[in-house]
Chain A
Amino acid sequence: MSKRKVYVIGYGITKFGEHYELNPSSSASQALSKAIQDAKISKDLIQSLYFGSLVSNRNGQSYIGAEASRECNLNIPITKIDVGNASGAGAFHQAFIAIKSGLLDCIAVLGTEKLSDFVNSSTLEKILGGTIDYQWEFEQGATLTSLYAWMTQAHMKEFNTTMEQLASVPVKNHKNGVNNPIAQFRREISLKRFLNAKRISAPIGRFDPATHCDGSAAVIIASKEFVESHSEIERKVKVVGSAQSSDKISLHHRGTLSSLLATQIASKKAYEMAQISSKDISIAEVHDSYPIGEILAIEDLGFFQKGDGGKATIEGKTQLNSDISVNTSGGLKARGDPFGATGIAQIIEIIQQMRREANKRQVDDIKYGLTQNVMGTGASVLVHILSNMEDDK
Protein backbone atom coordinates (compact mmCIF):
# COMPACT_ATOMS: atom_id res chain seq x y z
CA MET A 1 0.00 0.00 0.00
CA SER A 2 1.07 3.55 -0.73
CA LYS A 3 2.96 5.16 2.17
CA ARG A 4 1.75 8.64 1.24
CA LYS A 5 0.43 10.56 4.25
CA VAL A 6 -2.94 12.32 4.11
CA TYR A 7 -4.04 15.27 6.26
CA VAL A 8 -7.21 17.23 6.86
CA ILE A 9 -6.09 20.87 6.69
CA GLY A 10 -9.39 22.70 7.09
CA TYR A 11 -13.07 22.28 7.81
CA GLY A 12 -16.33 24.19 7.50
CA ILE A 13 -19.78 23.33 8.78
CA THR A 14 -23.20 25.01 8.88
CA LYS A 15 -25.59 24.88 11.79
CA PHE A 16 -27.74 21.76 11.50
CA GLY A 17 -31.50 22.21 11.68
CA GLU A 18 -34.36 23.60 9.62
CA HIS A 19 -33.20 26.36 7.29
CA TYR A 20 -36.20 27.19 5.14
CA GLU A 21 -34.55 30.44 4.03
CA LEU A 22 -31.48 28.73 2.53
CA ASN A 23 -31.47 27.00 -0.82
CA PRO A 24 -29.42 23.78 -1.05
CA SER A 25 -26.52 25.29 -2.99
CA SER A 26 -26.11 28.20 -0.56
CA SER A 27 -25.98 25.83 2.39
CA ALA A 28 -23.32 23.74 0.60
CA SER A 29 -21.35 26.85 -0.41
CA GLN A 30 -21.30 28.11 3.18
CA ALA A 31 -19.59 24.94 4.38
CA LEU A 32 -17.21 24.83 1.42
CA SER A 33 -16.07 28.45 1.69
CA LYS A 34 -15.63 28.15 5.46
CA ALA A 35 -13.43 25.08 4.90
CA ILE A 36 -11.28 26.91 2.35
CA GLN A 37 -10.88 29.87 4.74
CA ASP A 38 -10.01 27.54 7.61
CA ALA A 39 -7.31 25.80 5.55
CA LYS A 40 -5.79 29.26 4.88
CA ILE A 41 -4.90 28.23 1.31
CA SER A 42 -5.84 29.93 -1.93
CA LYS A 43 -8.92 28.23 -3.36
CA ASP A 44 -7.15 27.85 -6.71
CA LEU A 45 -4.98 25.17 -5.15
CA ILE A 46 -7.94 22.80 -4.77
CA GLN A 47 -7.75 20.25 -7.56
CA SER A 48 -11.03 18.39 -7.23
CA LEU A 49 -14.36 18.41 -5.37
CA TYR A 50 -16.00 15.21 -4.17
CA PHE A 51 -19.48 15.55 -2.74
CA GLY A 52 -21.92 13.24 -1.07
CA SER A 53 -25.69 13.63 -0.82
CA LEU A 54 -28.58 11.17 -0.64
CA VAL A 55 -31.48 13.29 -1.89
CA SER A 56 -29.94 16.10 -3.92
CA ASN A 57 -31.46 14.62 -7.08
CA ARG A 58 -34.95 14.87 -5.63
CA ASN A 59 -35.12 18.64 -5.13
CA GLY A 60 -34.82 19.17 -8.87
CA GLN A 61 -31.11 19.89 -9.07
CA SER A 62 -29.26 16.60 -9.29
CA TYR A 63 -25.78 18.01 -8.97
CA ILE A 64 -25.57 20.37 -5.98
CA GLY A 65 -21.77 20.21 -6.08
CA ALA A 66 -21.83 22.18 -9.32
CA GLU A 67 -23.97 24.91 -7.79
CA ALA A 68 -21.72 25.10 -4.76
CA SER A 69 -18.66 25.44 -6.96
CA ARG A 70 -20.42 28.28 -8.84
CA GLU A 71 -20.82 30.23 -5.61
CA CYS A 72 -17.19 29.51 -4.76
CA ASN A 73 -16.10 30.17 -8.37
CA LEU A 74 -14.14 26.97 -8.94
CA ASN A 75 -13.48 25.28 -12.28
CA ILE A 76 -12.43 21.87 -11.06
CA PRO A 77 -13.72 18.30 -11.48
CA ILE A 78 -16.85 17.74 -9.38
CA THR A 79 -17.90 14.19 -8.61
CA LYS A 80 -20.86 12.96 -6.63
CA ILE A 81 -20.17 9.84 -4.58
CA ASP A 82 -23.15 7.67 -3.73
CA VAL A 83 -23.14 5.52 -0.63
CA GLY A 84 -26.77 6.28 0.20
CA ASN A 85 -27.12 8.11 3.51
CA ALA A 86 -23.43 7.45 4.23
CA SER A 87 -22.35 9.38 1.12
CA GLY A 88 -20.45 11.99 3.16
CA ALA A 89 -18.03 9.42 4.55
CA GLY A 90 -18.09 7.72 1.13
CA ALA A 91 -16.88 10.92 -0.56
CA PHE A 92 -14.18 11.34 2.09
CA HIS A 93 -13.02 7.75 1.54
CA GLN A 94 -12.73 8.27 -2.24
CA ALA A 95 -10.86 11.57 -1.76
CA PHE A 96 -8.48 9.79 0.62
CA ILE A 97 -7.86 7.12 -2.03
CA ALA A 98 -7.21 9.78 -4.71
CA ILE A 99 -4.56 11.50 -2.58
CA LYS A 100 -3.07 8.22 -1.39
CA SER A 101 -2.73 7.17 -5.05
CA GLY A 102 -0.46 10.14 -5.72
CA LEU A 103 -2.51 11.61 -8.55
CA LEU A 104 -4.00 14.50 -6.55
CA ASP A 105 -2.62 16.60 -3.70
CA CYS A 106 -5.48 18.76 -2.48
CA ILE A 107 -9.20 17.91 -2.55
CA ALA A 108 -12.36 19.49 -1.12
CA VAL A 109 -14.91 17.03 0.27
CA LEU A 110 -18.47 18.24 0.76
CA GLY A 111 -21.50 16.59 2.32
CA THR A 112 -24.84 18.30 2.01
CA GLU A 113 -28.55 17.75 2.49
CA LYS A 114 -31.65 19.93 2.49
CA LEU A 115 -34.35 17.76 4.01
CA SER A 116 -36.72 20.47 5.28
CA ASP A 117 -37.78 20.91 1.64
CA PHE A 118 -39.72 17.65 2.02
CA VAL A 119 -42.71 18.68 4.13
CA ASN A 120 -44.57 15.42 3.53
CA SER A 121 -42.96 12.75 5.71
CA SER A 122 -44.11 10.02 3.28
CA THR A 123 -41.66 11.42 0.72
CA LEU A 124 -38.74 11.08 3.12
CA GLU A 125 -39.83 7.58 4.15
CA LYS A 126 -39.79 6.59 0.49
CA ILE A 127 -36.31 8.10 0.01
CA LEU A 128 -35.09 6.14 3.05
CA GLY A 129 -36.77 3.09 1.53
CA GLY A 130 -34.03 3.30 -1.07
CA THR A 131 -31.39 2.68 1.61
CA ILE A 132 -32.93 -0.68 2.54
CA ASP A 133 -33.99 -3.47 0.12
CA TYR A 134 -36.55 -1.40 -1.80
CA GLN A 135 -38.26 -4.29 -3.53
CA TRP A 136 -38.30 -6.96 -0.83
CA GLU A 137 -38.37 -4.90 2.35
CA PHE A 138 -39.82 -1.47 1.57
CA GLU A 139 -42.46 -2.46 -0.99
CA GLN A 140 -43.47 -5.32 1.30
CA GLY A 141 -44.25 -2.70 3.94
CA ALA A 142 -41.07 -2.39 6.02
CA THR A 143 -39.44 0.97 6.77
CA LEU A 144 -35.98 1.89 8.06
CA THR A 145 -37.46 2.42 11.54
CA SER A 146 -39.26 -0.94 11.60
CA LEU A 147 -36.08 -2.77 10.57
CA TYR A 148 -34.12 -1.03 13.35
CA ALA A 149 -36.94 -2.16 15.67
CA TRP A 150 -36.18 -5.79 14.75
CA MET A 151 -32.47 -5.25 15.30
CA THR A 152 -33.29 -3.77 18.72
CA GLN A 153 -35.54 -6.76 19.53
CA ALA A 154 -32.80 -9.19 18.50
CA HIS A 155 -30.22 -7.51 20.77
CA MET A 156 -32.65 -7.34 23.70
CA LYS A 157 -33.49 -11.02 23.34
CA GLU A 158 -29.96 -12.27 22.85
CA PHE A 159 -28.15 -10.15 25.44
CA ASN A 160 -30.93 -9.05 27.82
CA THR A 161 -30.41 -5.43 26.78
CA THR A 162 -33.00 -3.31 28.59
CA MET A 163 -35.11 -0.31 27.56
CA GLU A 164 -33.25 1.77 30.18
CA GLN A 165 -29.89 0.82 28.66
CA LEU A 166 -31.15 1.72 25.19
CA ALA A 167 -32.55 5.07 26.34
CA SER A 168 -29.26 5.92 28.05
CA VAL A 169 -27.75 6.34 24.56
CA PRO A 170 -29.83 9.37 23.48
CA VAL A 171 -29.81 10.74 27.06
CA LYS A 172 -26.00 10.88 26.93
CA ASN A 173 -25.91 12.24 23.40
CA HIS A 174 -28.40 15.03 24.14
CA LYS A 175 -26.25 15.95 27.16
CA ASN A 176 -23.20 16.24 24.88
CA GLY A 177 -25.20 18.12 22.24
CA VAL A 178 -25.95 20.96 24.68
CA ASN A 179 -22.34 22.11 24.23
CA ASN A 180 -22.22 21.80 20.45
CA PRO A 181 -23.02 25.13 18.76
CA ILE A 182 -23.98 23.50 15.44
CA ALA A 183 -26.32 20.88 16.95
CA GLN A 184 -30.01 21.00 16.06
CA PHE A 185 -31.11 20.15 19.62
CA ARG A 186 -29.12 21.76 22.41
CA ARG A 187 -31.13 20.53 25.36
CA GLU A 188 -31.11 17.51 27.61
CA ILE A 189 -33.90 14.95 27.58
CA SER A 190 -34.56 12.78 30.64
CA LEU A 191 -34.44 8.99 30.65
CA LYS A 192 -38.04 8.99 31.83
CA ARG A 193 -39.17 11.04 28.84
CA PHE A 194 -37.59 8.55 26.43
CA LEU A 195 -39.11 5.60 28.28
CA ASN A 196 -42.60 7.12 28.51
CA ALA A 197 -42.77 8.21 24.87
CA LYS A 198 -45.27 6.53 22.57
CA ARG A 199 -43.81 3.49 20.75
CA ILE A 200 -43.87 4.16 17.00
CA SER A 201 -42.41 0.77 16.03
CA ALA A 202 -41.91 -1.11 19.30
CA PRO A 203 -39.43 -1.13 20.95
CA ILE A 204 -38.54 2.13 19.15
CA GLY A 205 -40.20 5.16 20.71
CA ARG A 206 -41.16 8.53 19.30
CA PHE A 207 -38.04 10.31 20.58
CA ASP A 208 -35.55 7.57 19.64
CA PRO A 209 -34.75 8.25 15.96
CA ALA A 210 -32.37 11.04 14.94
CA THR A 211 -34.18 13.84 13.11
CA HIS A 212 -33.73 14.41 9.38
CA CYS A 213 -32.62 18.01 8.93
CA ASP A 214 -30.67 20.48 6.78
CA GLY A 215 -26.93 20.90 6.96
CA SER A 216 -23.67 20.96 5.06
CA ALA A 217 -20.14 20.03 6.08
CA ALA A 218 -16.87 20.26 4.18
CA VAL A 219 -13.20 19.44 4.70
CA ILE A 220 -10.06 20.09 2.69
CA ILE A 221 -7.65 17.18 2.57
CA ALA A 222 -4.11 17.23 1.29
CA SER A 223 -0.94 15.16 0.94
CA LYS A 224 2.05 15.59 3.24
CA GLU A 225 4.06 16.97 0.30
CA PHE A 226 1.37 19.62 -0.28
CA VAL A 227 1.31 20.58 3.41
CA GLU A 228 5.11 20.87 3.54
CA SER A 229 5.27 23.12 0.49
CA HIS A 230 2.55 25.52 1.74
CA SER A 231 3.68 27.29 4.88
CA GLU A 232 0.35 29.13 5.17
CA ILE A 233 -1.26 25.89 6.42
CA GLU A 234 -1.35 26.22 10.21
CA ARG A 235 -3.14 23.14 11.44
CA LYS A 236 -3.40 19.59 10.24
CA VAL A 237 -4.88 16.30 11.47
CA LYS A 238 -3.61 13.05 10.00
CA VAL A 239 -5.94 10.47 8.46
CA VAL A 240 -4.42 7.12 9.40
CA GLY A 241 -7.23 4.73 8.50
CA SER A 242 -10.00 4.76 5.92
CA ALA A 243 -12.08 1.71 5.08
CA GLN A 244 -15.46 0.65 3.75
CA SER A 245 -17.25 -2.66 3.79
CA SER A 246 -20.66 -4.00 2.89
CA ASP A 247 -23.18 -6.62 3.90
CA LYS A 248 -26.42 -8.03 2.49
CA ILE A 249 -28.88 -5.18 2.12
CA SER A 250 -31.92 -7.08 3.39
CA LEU A 251 -32.14 -8.16 7.02
CA HIS A 252 -33.88 -11.39 5.97
CA HIS A 253 -30.68 -12.42 4.18
CA ARG A 254 -28.37 -11.86 7.17
CA GLY A 255 -27.22 -14.48 9.64
CA THR A 256 -27.68 -12.20 12.65
CA LEU A 257 -29.52 -8.98 13.45
CA SER A 258 -27.57 -8.29 16.64
CA SER A 259 -24.37 -7.09 14.97
CA LEU A 260 -23.31 -5.29 11.81
CA LEU A 261 -20.83 -7.39 9.86
CA ALA A 262 -19.89 -4.41 7.67
CA THR A 263 -18.82 -2.44 10.78
CA GLN A 264 -16.71 -5.35 11.97
CA ILE A 265 -14.94 -5.77 8.61
CA ALA A 266 -14.46 -2.04 7.90
CA SER A 267 -13.07 -1.35 11.38
CA LYS A 268 -10.69 -4.31 11.16
CA LYS A 269 -9.35 -2.93 7.88
CA ALA A 270 -9.07 0.60 9.30
CA TYR A 271 -7.25 -0.58 12.45
CA GLU A 272 -4.83 -2.57 10.28
CA MET A 273 -4.16 0.43 8.08
CA ALA A 274 -3.54 2.62 11.14
CA GLN A 275 -1.55 -0.16 12.83
CA ILE A 276 -3.50 0.24 16.04
CA SER A 277 -6.25 -1.62 17.92
CA SER A 278 -9.62 -0.52 19.30
CA LYS A 279 -7.87 0.08 22.68
CA ASP A 280 -5.98 3.04 21.19
CA ILE A 281 -9.14 4.98 20.33
CA SER A 282 -10.01 7.78 22.78
CA ILE A 283 -13.01 9.34 21.01
CA ALA A 284 -15.52 7.99 18.52
CA GLU A 285 -18.38 9.44 16.50
CA VAL A 286 -20.74 6.58 15.67
CA HIS A 287 -24.00 6.23 13.76
CA ASP A 288 -26.67 6.56 16.49
CA SER A 289 -29.61 7.16 14.15
CA TYR A 290 -31.48 4.84 16.54
CA PRO A 291 -30.29 3.94 20.09
CA ILE A 292 -29.42 0.37 19.03
CA GLY A 293 -27.15 1.86 16.34
CA GLU A 294 -24.70 3.15 18.96
CA ILE A 295 -24.85 -0.05 21.00
CA LEU A 296 -24.09 -2.19 17.94
CA ALA A 297 -21.33 0.22 16.92
CA ILE A 298 -19.43 0.24 20.22
CA GLU A 299 -19.51 -3.58 20.24
CA ASP A 300 -18.73 -4.19 16.57
CA LEU A 301 -15.90 -1.61 16.63
CA GLY A 302 -14.35 -3.61 19.47
CA PHE A 303 -14.71 -1.06 22.30
CA PHE A 304 -16.79 -3.51 24.34
CA GLN A 305 -17.54 -7.24 24.24
CA LYS A 306 -20.51 -8.30 22.13
CA GLY A 307 -23.62 -7.90 24.25
CA ASP A 308 -22.06 -5.48 26.77
CA GLY A 309 -22.84 -2.26 24.86
CA GLY A 310 -26.07 -1.45 26.69
CA LYS A 311 -24.56 -2.12 30.12
CA ALA A 312 -21.44 -0.07 29.32
CA THR A 313 -23.56 2.87 28.19
CA ILE A 314 -25.82 2.98 31.25
CA GLU A 315 -22.74 2.66 33.50
CA GLY A 316 -21.32 5.81 31.89
CA LYS A 317 -18.36 4.14 30.18
CA THR A 318 -19.00 6.06 26.95
CA GLN A 319 -19.74 9.49 28.39
CA LEU A 320 -17.50 12.52 28.04
CA ASN A 321 -13.95 11.89 29.33
CA SER A 322 -14.61 8.28 30.32
CA ASP A 323 -12.93 5.07 28.99
CA ILE A 324 -13.98 6.04 25.50
CA SER A 325 -15.92 9.23 24.78
CA VAL A 326 -18.61 8.34 22.25
CA ASN A 327 -20.52 10.95 20.26
CA THR A 328 -19.10 13.99 22.03
CA SER A 329 -20.85 16.09 19.38
CA GLY A 330 -24.27 14.85 20.46
CA GLY A 331 -24.26 12.29 17.67
CA LEU A 332 -26.83 12.12 14.91
CA LYS A 333 -29.46 12.26 17.66
CA ALA A 334 -28.75 15.75 19.04
CA ARG A 335 -26.78 17.22 16.14
CA GLY A 336 -29.48 16.18 13.66
CA ASP A 337 -29.00 13.95 10.61
CA PRO A 338 -28.66 15.61 7.20
CA PHE A 339 -27.67 12.28 5.63
CA GLY A 340 -24.87 13.24 3.22
CA ALA A 341 -23.46 15.84 5.63
CA THR A 342 -23.39 13.51 8.63
CA GLY A 343 -20.30 11.49 7.66
CA ILE A 344 -18.26 14.68 7.21
CA ALA A 345 -19.70 16.24 10.39
CA GLN A 346 -18.48 13.20 12.35
CA ILE A 347 -14.96 13.71 10.99
CA ILE A 348 -15.16 17.45 11.82
CA GLU A 349 -16.03 16.66 15.45
CA ILE A 350 -12.86 14.56 15.74
CA ILE A 351 -10.81 17.38 14.16
CA GLN A 352 -12.30 19.96 16.55
CA GLN A 353 -11.45 17.70 19.49
CA MET A 354 -7.89 17.20 18.23
CA ARG A 355 -7.42 20.94 17.64
CA ARG A 356 -8.80 21.56 21.15
CA GLU A 357 -11.66 23.66 19.81
CA ALA A 358 -14.45 21.67 21.46
CA ASN A 359 -14.79 23.97 24.52
CA LYS A 360 -17.10 22.43 27.14
CA ARG A 361 -17.19 19.07 25.37
CA GLN A 362 -13.40 18.86 25.07
CA VAL A 363 -11.82 15.47 25.76
CA ASP A 364 -8.25 15.41 27.11
CA ASP A 365 -5.28 13.38 25.87
CA ILE A 366 -6.63 12.19 22.54
CA LYS A 367 -4.34 10.00 20.49
CA TYR A 368 -6.73 8.52 17.98
CA GLY A 369 -10.32 9.31 17.02
CA LEU A 370 -12.67 7.14 14.97
CA THR A 371 -15.83 7.73 12.94
CA GLN A 372 -18.42 5.18 11.79
CA ASN A 373 -21.07 6.08 9.19
CA VAL A 374 -23.78 3.54 8.32
CA MET A 375 -25.81 3.25 5.11
CA GLY A 376 -29.38 2.00 5.70
CA THR A 377 -29.38 -0.90 8.17
CA GLY A 378 -25.68 -1.63 7.54
CA ALA A 379 -25.53 -2.57 3.85
CA SER A 380 -22.44 -0.38 3.73
CA VAL A 381 -20.33 1.00 6.56
CA LEU A 382 -17.39 3.43 6.50
CA VAL A 383 -14.81 3.72 9.26
CA HIS A 384 -12.21 6.48 9.48
CA ILE A 385 -9.39 6.90 11.98
CA LEU A 386 -7.67 10.22 12.59
CA SER A 387 -4.58 10.89 14.65
CA ASN A 388 -2.95 13.92 16.21
CA MET A 389 0.23 12.04 17.09
CA GLU A 390 3.22 13.84 15.65
CA ASP A 391 5.11 10.67 14.93
CA ASP A 392 2.72 7.77 14.78
CA LYS A 393 3.66 4.25 13.72
Chain B
Amino acid sequence: MEPPKIWRERREKYLALGILCQECKKKSFPITQYCPHCSSEDISELKLAQTGKILHFTRVSQTAEELMFYAPYIIGLVELDDGIKVTGQITDTKLEDLTEGMKVRMVFRTLSKNGEEGLIGYGFKFVLI
Protein backbone atom coordinates (compact mmCIF):
# COMPACT_ATOMS: atom_id res chain seq x y z
CA MET B 1 0.00 0.00 0.00
CA GLU B 2 1.26 3.43 -0.94
CA PRO B 3 1.01 6.58 1.23
CA PRO B 4 -1.33 8.55 -1.11
CA LYS B 5 -3.91 5.77 -0.94
CA ILE B 6 -3.69 5.46 2.85
CA TRP B 7 -4.00 9.25 3.19
CA ARG B 8 -6.97 9.44 0.81
CA GLU B 9 -8.89 6.70 2.59
CA ARG B 10 -8.13 7.94 6.11
CA ARG B 11 -11.61 9.28 6.91
CA GLU B 12 -13.66 6.32 5.71
CA LYS B 13 -11.20 3.71 7.02
CA TYR B 14 -10.22 5.25 10.33
CA LEU B 15 -13.51 6.95 11.21
CA ALA B 16 -15.85 4.53 9.39
CA LEU B 17 -17.66 7.21 7.42
CA GLY B 18 -20.19 6.76 4.66
CA ILE B 19 -22.47 9.25 2.97
CA LEU B 20 -26.04 10.47 3.31
CA CYS B 21 -27.63 11.71 0.07
CA GLN B 22 -29.43 15.00 0.61
CA GLU B 23 -31.61 14.35 -2.42
CA CYS B 24 -32.88 10.77 -2.06
CA LYS B 25 -32.05 10.58 1.68
CA LYS B 26 -30.42 7.15 1.26
CA LYS B 27 -27.31 6.16 3.20
CA SER B 28 -24.38 4.38 1.60
CA PHE B 29 -20.84 3.22 2.19
CA PRO B 30 -18.02 3.93 1.28
CA ILE B 31 -17.62 7.67 0.64
CA THR B 32 -18.28 8.45 -3.03
CA GLN B 33 -18.56 11.67 -5.02
CA TYR B 34 -22.02 10.74 -6.26
CA CYS B 35 -24.85 8.95 -4.51
CA PRO B 36 -24.80 5.31 -5.77
CA HIS B 37 -28.61 5.24 -5.62
CA CYS B 38 -29.61 8.43 -7.48
CA SER B 39 -26.26 9.84 -8.76
CA SER B 40 -26.85 13.15 -6.96
CA GLU B 41 -23.78 15.20 -6.05
CA ASP B 42 -25.54 16.66 -3.03
CA ILE B 43 -24.13 14.40 -0.35
CA SER B 44 -22.89 14.72 3.21
CA GLU B 45 -20.66 12.52 5.36
CA LEU B 46 -22.30 10.07 7.69
CA LYS B 47 -20.90 8.24 10.70
CA LEU B 48 -21.74 4.54 10.38
CA ALA B 49 -23.65 2.77 13.14
CA GLN B 50 -21.14 1.20 15.53
CA THR B 51 -23.10 -1.98 16.17
CA GLY B 52 -24.74 -4.55 13.97
CA LYS B 53 -25.28 -8.29 13.37
CA ILE B 54 -23.39 -11.02 11.54
CA LEU B 55 -25.06 -12.18 8.31
CA HIS B 56 -22.31 -14.49 7.05
CA PHE B 57 -18.87 -15.53 8.28
CA THR B 58 -16.09 -17.93 7.33
CA ARG B 59 -12.40 -18.51 7.91
CA VAL B 60 -9.55 -17.18 5.75
CA SER B 61 -6.20 -18.94 5.98
CA GLN B 62 -4.52 -17.92 2.72
CA THR B 63 -4.35 -14.36 1.43
CA ALA B 64 -1.90 -11.61 0.44
CA GLU B 65 1.42 -11.47 2.30
CA GLU B 66 0.58 -8.21 4.13
CA LEU B 67 -2.68 -9.65 5.49
CA MET B 68 -1.22 -12.99 6.61
CA PHE B 69 -0.10 -11.50 9.94
CA TYR B 70 -3.31 -12.53 11.71
CA ALA B 71 -4.23 -15.55 9.53
CA PRO B 72 -6.17 -17.71 9.98
CA TYR B 73 -8.82 -15.14 10.82
CA ILE B 74 -12.59 -14.84 10.46
CA ILE B 75 -14.16 -12.61 7.80
CA GLY B 76 -17.78 -11.56 8.13
CA LEU B 77 -20.58 -9.80 6.31
CA VAL B 78 -22.10 -7.46 8.88
CA GLU B 79 -25.38 -5.56 8.68
CA LEU B 80 -25.03 -2.42 10.78
CA ASP B 81 -27.96 -1.09 12.79
CA ASP B 82 -28.43 1.72 10.23
CA GLY B 83 -29.02 -0.88 7.49
CA ILE B 84 -25.64 -0.49 5.76
CA LYS B 85 -23.74 -3.72 5.08
CA VAL B 86 -19.95 -3.94 5.34
CA THR B 87 -17.26 -6.59 5.07
CA GLY B 88 -14.93 -6.89 8.05
CA GLN B 89 -12.96 -9.27 10.23
CA ILE B 90 -14.55 -10.67 13.36
CA THR B 91 -11.80 -10.76 15.89
CA ASP B 92 -11.06 -11.75 19.51
CA THR B 93 -13.20 -14.88 19.13
CA LYS B 94 -13.12 -18.42 17.72
CA LEU B 95 -14.93 -19.74 14.65
CA GLU B 96 -16.77 -22.38 16.69
CA ASP B 97 -18.17 -19.71 19.04
CA LEU B 98 -19.92 -17.81 16.23
CA THR B 99 -23.42 -18.14 14.82
CA GLU B 100 -25.31 -16.08 12.25
CA GLY B 101 -27.23 -13.17 13.74
CA MET B 102 -24.83 -12.53 16.64
CA LYS B 103 -24.48 -8.88 17.65
CA VAL B 104 -21.13 -7.19 17.05
CA ARG B 105 -19.44 -3.86 17.78
CA MET B 106 -16.98 -2.00 15.54
CA VAL B 107 -13.38 -1.65 16.80
CA PHE B 108 -10.28 0.08 15.40
CA ARG B 109 -7.46 -2.37 14.65
CA THR B 110 -4.37 -3.15 12.56
CA LEU B 111 -5.37 -4.66 9.19
CA SER B 112 -2.10 -5.14 7.32
CA LYS B 113 1.66 -5.03 7.80
CA ASN B 114 4.04 -4.63 4.88
CA GLY B 115 7.04 -6.43 6.38
CA GLU B 116 9.17 -5.10 9.23
CA GLU B 117 9.70 -1.64 7.77
CA GLY B 118 6.66 -1.07 5.56
CA LEU B 119 3.50 0.86 6.23
CA ILE B 120 0.89 -0.45 8.62
CA GLY B 121 -2.72 -0.42 7.44
CA TYR B 122 -5.41 0.37 10.01
CA GLY B 123 -9.17 0.07 9.80
CA PHE B 124 -12.22 -1.39 11.46
CA LYS B 125 -12.95 -4.93 12.56
CA PHE B 126 -15.74 -6.32 14.74
CA VAL B 127 -15.91 -7.97 18.16
CA LEU B 128 -18.84 -9.79 19.75
CA ILE B 129 -20.90 -7.70 22.17
**Contact between chains at A125 and B73 (CB < 8 Å):** no
B128 at the interface (CB under 8 A from A): no
How many B residues have CB within 8 A of the partner chain? 28
Residues in B neighbouring A275, C-beta threshold 8 A: none
Residues in A neighbouring B65, C-beta threshold 8 A: 120, 122-123, 126
**Contact between chains at B58 and A141 (CB < 8 Å):** no
**Contact between chains at A143 and B62 (CB < 8 Å):** yes
**Contact between chains at A146 and B89 (CB < 8 Å):** no
Which of A108-122 touch B at CB < 8 Å? Answer: 120-122
Docked CA distance A345–B73 (Å): 36
B86-98 contact mask (Cβ, 8 Å, vs A): 1 or 0? 1111000001000
Please name the residue on chain A nearest to B65 by beta carbon.
Answer: A122
Docked CA distance A150–B87 (Å): 11
Q: A126-B64, A139-B111, A141-B73 are in contact. Are A202 and B123 (CB under 8 A)?
A: no
B35-72 contact mask (Cβ, 8 Å, vs A): 1 or 0? 01000000000000000000010111111110110000
Q: A125-B62, A125-B64, A201-B59 are in contact. Are A142 and B75 (CB under 8 A)?
A: yes
**Contact between chains at A150 and B73 (CB < 8 Å):** no
CB distance from A119 to the nearest CB of B (A): 13
A340 at the interface (CB under 8 A from B): no
**Contact between chains at A140 and B61 (CB < 8 Å):** no
Please name the residue on chain A nearest to B30 by beta carbon.
Answer: A136
CB distance from B32 to the nearest CB of A (A): 11
**Contact between chains at B30 and A139 (CB < 8 Å):** no
**Contact between chains at B111 and A140 (CB < 8 Å):** yes
Which of A127-182 touch B at CB < 8 Å? Answer: 129, 133, 135-143, 145-146, 149-150, 153-154
How many A residues have CB within 8 A of the partner chain? 33
A70 at the interface (CB under 8 A from B): no
Residues in A neighbouring B64, C-beta threshold 8 A: 122, 125-126, 129, 138
**Contact between chains at B77 and A251 (CB < 8 Å):** yes
A253 at the interface (CB under 8 A from B): yes
The 4 closest A-B pairs by CB, nearest first: A126-B64, A150-B56, A252-B85, A149-B58
Q: List 30 A-B contacts (CB under 8 A).
A: A121-B62, A122-B62, A122-B65, A123-B65, A125-B63, A125-B64, A129-B63, A129-B64, A135-B9, A136-B87, A138-B63, A140-B87, A140-B88, A140-B89, A141-B60, A141-B63, A141-B73, A141-B88, A141-B111, A143-B62, A143-B75, A145-B62, A149-B58, A150-B58, A154-B56, A199-B59, A200-B62, A251-B87, A253-B36, A257-B56
B-side interface residues toward A, CB under 8 Å?
1, 9, 30, 36, 56, 58-65, 67-68, 73, 75, 77, 85-89, 95, 111-112, 121, 123
A-side interface residues toward B, CB under 8 Å?
120-123, 125-126, 129, 133, 135-143, 145-146, 149-150, 153-154, 199-202, 204, 250-253, 257
